[in-house]
Structure 1
Amino acid sequence: MSQTSQMDGLPVPKRYGAIVAIALGITVAVLDGAIANVALPTIARELQASPAQSIWIVNAYQLAIIVSLLSLSFLGDILGYRRIYQWGLVIFSCTSLLCALSSSLEMLTFARVLQGFGGAALMSVNTALIRIIYPQRHLGRGMGINSLIVAVSTAAGPTVAAAVLSVASWQWLFFINVPVGIAALWLALRFLPDNPQKAQGQRFDLASAVMNALTFGLLISALSGAAQGQRWEIIAAEVVALLVVGVLFIRRQLTMPFPLLPVDLLRIPIFSLSICTSVCSFCAQMLAMVSLPFYLQSVLGRDEVATGLLLTPWPLATMVTAPIAGRLIERYHAGLLGGIGLAMFAAGLFALALLPAAPGDLDIIWRMMLCGAGFGLFQSPNNHTIISSAPRNRSGGASGMLGTARLLGQTSGAALVALMFNLFDTHGTHASLIMAGCFSSAAAIVSAMRMTQPRAGK
């Protein structure tokens, strides 16, 4: 295929094959971030581990992703996004099998770390690939599909896990990734395009990669420790180390022509504003999605199945609005669409916080739908703006920042839920929803500020 045709997207038959390859890989990578949560008590019991120790089954995966995401997206700019994605599928599939065959907590935790590196490879370049797969005029539609997959996979994790566990053992949460990964790899080898132009003159800087891993690792560790009531001496030491390493890391990036942390892209106003809104929106989403099951089960007395059904309107509404928003970005400014979507999201969150003492199912369902619809309307245009506002040969860096913003928001949101439950005990969900509404409202204001900037890709 010629460079020109690659620059203007793939022809329709190949485009479908390529987008399915990305959809399958991203679905299992995002799902595996949350799908193990539901099975933790069972896994801990079978592997003879304490509940506190079993948390590492989740943390190991998330931590591996967030410390390696930017490094892998940088390698995508140098080696090609297709190659990074294909290797990600191989690693993710093999380590999923290793997870399923694990006979001890230590073995499972180690396998989850390796699986996280595979997941990071998939997440680091997926949106960069979409920029090549779709013609520029239809890029919003591709971003709409991608946003839909990520949002629904994130929100549907507990429901999918409950469905699998109702008919099979916890090992099948990981076994199921293997055939999906093989199918995605076959499609990726056949349909994914190579970079139309690889970055010239870029060199991978190992010192930057180590500093990046330490910076984000210490940040997540300090956030989680503070939320879970860890000793203040340990948290203080982590914060000091974070400040020292973080400052050295950023200073090093500012002197490099091709920085691993794309500080050059953050100088683009619409890019940095879009990253900020992404962090806030995913923080708000996680505050709600982690805290609501506790409210539905502990306060309202719903069982696991009813809880899953009451949470389902959120991803269903996102499924409707995300593709629509992907088309609207071709006509309207992302700042306007994002501002409206985030305002709807905030209204839904505040409405959930103000639920009556004994709400009916419909009271909960319409509020969930409002949250999901608002989130879907915001996310597709926002992702489109992040990717299209970066130069083409820096698409990997932009894709890595998009994934990092999502994970940073989700991790911060989960940590804040723990903090709210520690501070407010029986009213932890209410406090979490109020805080989520505040984050979404702030993001709506920041999104509206983008309307002073020219539309990305124009």
Structure 2
Amino acid sequence: MRLFQTRPGDDGLPGRERALAVLALTTGTLLAVMDTTMVNLALPTMAADLDVPASRAVWITNIFQVVCAAFLLVFAGLSELVTRRRLYLFGLGTFLVGSLGAALSRHIDVLLLFRALQGLGAAATLSIGPSLYRMIFPSRLLGSALGLSALVVAGGYAAGPTLSGLLLSVVDWPWLFAFNLPLGVCSWWLARRALPRETPRQGSFDTPGALLSMLMLASFFLAMDAVGHTAPLWQSGGWLLLATVACWGFVWRQRRARYPLLPLVVFREMRFTLAVSASGLAFIGQGLTFVALSFFYQEQMGFSALETAWLFTPWPLGIMLVGPLAGRLADKINPSLLSSTGLVFLIVGLVALALVDEQTSALGSLWRTALCGIGFGLFQPPNNREMMGSLPPERSANVSGVMSTTRTVGQSLGVALVGAALALGLSIQMTLWFGALTSALALVASLSRVSLAQRALLQRRASSGSR
């Protein structure tokens, strides 16, 4: 396979070691992604079995997401001191301990504790995943590697609800967590054997920056959750104020720290900054659309939860089909043009979804969702390549943390916007139009860097030709 062929002068790992390392990364990523989607579908069953109200049961998902979001930047910065290999092994091991504890839990408080532990482990693995791909693969295959990463994530999103439905039809909900154990143990063994070793950075850790980062991201997520669940204004406003103050403190600290958690100098590279902006806006549109359509399909069209999951399947399937090809093309042609083209498809698909009504057939919804998935699959790997390739390799851990945080914040903001729109009495269609608008703004950001990316591509080709 092309991804695992070695050429003279290649950086990264040799072919066979590369294949084993990628297998470890893909299985670990699948665990974290599928776990979230599997649990979401099982929340009503878990609430009934644990004898807790739905408002309490949603924290089985929320606690995982809050902890995961809070530690993404922290672990990305910490990886430079402890090495990415050790951090990944720690994260995967922590996730497995959390999974075992969750499978054995019979009380909501105990379950929430182990779900938080799972979130901590997931943050450690997801925060450095893209930078590990850059470390494993040669630079000439970076786009293809990130396309493979998009394929794995999309596959997890596609398989999670279906697998959850199948498991719940034959076993109880604790098996959703026990399912992680055999695959996770194999992934940990592979990672210990195959992930590359590196020399840790010398210097101190930015502890004040880490604490401010955790406070900023956790309070922002709680603010978005409060908005999404139409909590009192003082509650959502209080969390948002705390997030704003923590953000100001975090920026102040990063400008003065000798070894900042997130060197703000990375944002001077306009290719990187515009790619981050496009990513965040596109993920707002995706997060918003997923939640809005869930309400529309179930409340207005009368579909069950499992039928709704099937109606969403074309989106991740579209990413799975197009993402690897888009990543491969991004190694050869202007990635900004590719990602901009993908955003055009995404916008058209979102506009088409905004025009659905109760008379629209399931097939009519499926092709619209598929168009969105194809567009997102064409957008994400080239855009991720721009983020990762626009900065030197020694910044890859920072880039990886920013990528993960941008995705999490964007999706959370999209979910909150749906809750706010419903609280204001706006229709689902109006919400979908807003998703199309945020994607249009992402397109503006993406097009703004086309000439910059083309210049970088020509320089990369000239450098390769001179070797």
For residue 40 of structure 2, give the secondary structure of its aligned residue in structure 1.
Answer: coil
For residue 171 of structure 2, give the secondary structure of its aligned residue in structure 1.
Answer: coil
State the distance in 2 between where 1:90 and 1:6 align. 35
State the distance in 1 between where 2:348 and 2:239 align. 36
State the distance in 2 between where 1:6 and 1:186 align. 29
1:406-441 per-residue CA deviation (whole Å, 9 max, x = no partner) reads 11111111112222222236x33x223211111111
Look up the match of 2:350.
349
Q: How many pairs were matched up?
A: 451
Q: How does 1:246-265 map to 2 (within 5 A)?
A: 246-265=247-266
> Cα 1:395–1:6, aligned 2, differ >3 Å: closer, same or farther?
farther
Look up the match of 1:414.
415
User: Does 2:80 align with 1:77?
Assistant: yes
For residue 315 of structure 1, give the secondary structure of its aligned residue in structure 2.
Answer: helix
Conserved in 1, the CA contact under 8 Å of 2:219 and 2:243?
A: yes
1:122-160 per-residue CA deviation (whole Å, 9 max, x = no partner) reads 101111110011111111110000012223323543333
1:61-98 per-residue CA deviation (whole Å, 9 max, x = no partner) reads 00111111111111112221111111111111111010
Deviation at 1:198, TM superposition (A): 4.1
So what's the TM-score if we normalise by structure 2? 0.92
State the distance in 2 between where 1:229 and 1:307 align. 23
For residue 12 of structure 2, give the secondary structure of its aligned residue in structure 1.
Answer: coil
Q: How does 1:284-303 map to 2 (within 5 A)?
A: 284-303=285-304
User: Does 2:390 align with 1:384?
Assistant: no
Look up the match of 1:181.
184
Look up the match of 2:243.
242
State the distance in 2 between where 1:256 and 1:7 align. 35
Residue identity opposite 1:99 in structure 2 = A
State the distance in 1 between where 2:166 and 2:391 align. 40
Look up the match of 1:31.
34
State the distance in 2 between where 1:135 and 1:203 align. 30
Residue identity opposite 2:313 in structure 1 = T
Q: How does 1:74-223 map to 2 (within 5 A)?
A: 74-195=77-198, 198-199=200-201, 201-223=202-224
Look up the match of 1:10.
13
State the distance in 1 between where 2:304 and 2:247 align. 44
Runs of 5+ consecutive residues of structure 2 not aligned to the other structure: 1-6, 461-467
Conserved in 1, the CA contact under 8 Å of 2:154 and 2:317?
A: no
State the distance in 1 between where 2:180 and 2:33 align. 12
State the distance in 1 between where 2:353 and 2:329 align. 28
For residue 289 of structure 2, give the secondary structure of its aligned residue in structure 1.
Answer: helix
Look up the match of 1:266.
267
Deviation at 1:223, TM superposition (A): 2.1
Conserved in 2, the CA contact under 8 Å of 1:77 and 1:394?
A: no
State the distance in 1 between where 2:14 and 2:112 align. 42
Conserved in 1, the CA contact under 8 Å of 2:227 and 2:417?
A: no
Residue identity opposite 1:358 in structure 2 = Q
So what's the TM-score if we normalise by structure 1? 0.94
Deviation at 1:393, TM superposition (A): 1.7
> Cα 1:211–1:146, aligned 2, differ >3 Å: closer, same or farther?
same
Deviation at 1:210, TM superposition (A): 0.8
Deviation at 1:391, TM superposition (A): 2.0
> Cα 1:402–1:244, aligned 2, differ >3 Å: closer, same or farther?
same
Look up the match of 1:444.
443
Deviation at 1:399, TM superposition (A): 0.5
For residue 276 of structure 2, give the secondary structure of its aligned residue in structure 1.
Answer: helix
> Cα 1:167–1:431, aligned 2, differ >3 Å: closer, same or farther?
farther
Residue identity opposite 1:22 in structure 2 = L
Deviation at 1:16, TM superposition (A): 1.3
Look up the match of 2:283.
282
Conserved in 1, the CA contact under 8 Å of 2:206 and 2:259?
A: no
Deviation at 1:230, TM superposition (A): 2.1
Conserved in 2, the CA contact under 8 Å of 1:142 and 1:326?
A: yes
For residue 37 of structure 1, give the secondary structure of its aligned residue in structure 2.
Answer: helix
> Cα 1:378–1:235, aligned 2, differ >3 Å: closer, same or farther?
same
Residue identity opposite 2:440 in structure 1 = S
Identical residues among aligned pairs (%):
36
Conserved in 2, the CA contact under 8 Å of 1:34 and 1:58?
A: no
For residue 421 of structure 2, give the secondary structure of its aligned residue in structure 1.
Answer: helix
State the distance in 1 between where 2:349 and 2:236 align. 34
Runs of 5+ consecutive residues of structure 1 not aligned to the other structure: none
Mean CA deviation greater in 247-256 or 287-296? 287-296
Look up the match of 1:233.
234
> Cα 1:306–1:326, aligned 2, differ >3 Å: closer, same or farther?
same
- 2:54 counterpart (51, 54, 58): 51
Deviation at 1:211, TM superposition (A): 0.7
Deviation at 1:7, TM superposition (A): 7.0
Look up the match of 1:41.
44
Look up the match of 1:309.
310
Conserved in 1, the CA contact under 8 Å of 2:95 and 2:121?
A: yes
State the distance in 2 between where 1:155 and 1:405 align. 21
Conserved in 1, the CA contact under 8 Å of 2:300 and 2:358?
A: no
Deviation at 1:256, TM superposition (A): 2.3
State the distance in 2 between where 1:388 and 1:194 align. 22
1:168-220 per-residue CA deviation (whole Å, 9 max, x = no partner) reads 2111111111111101011111111123x543x44212211111111111211
Look up the match of 1:326.
327
Deviation at 1:356, TM superposition (A): 4.5
> Cα 1:276–1:322, aligned 2, differ >3 Å: closer, same or farther?
same
Conserved in 2, the CA contact under 8 Å of 1:77 and 1:393?
A: no
State the distance in 2 between where 1:424 and 1:448 align. 34
1:2-49 per-residue CA deviation (whole Å, 9 max, x = no partner) reads xx9997122222211111110111111122233211111111111121
Residue identity opposite 2:449 in structure 1 = R
Conserved in 1, the CA contact under 8 Å of 2:101 and 2:114?
A: yes
> Cα 1:235–1:355, aligned 2, differ >3 Å: closer, same or farther?
closer
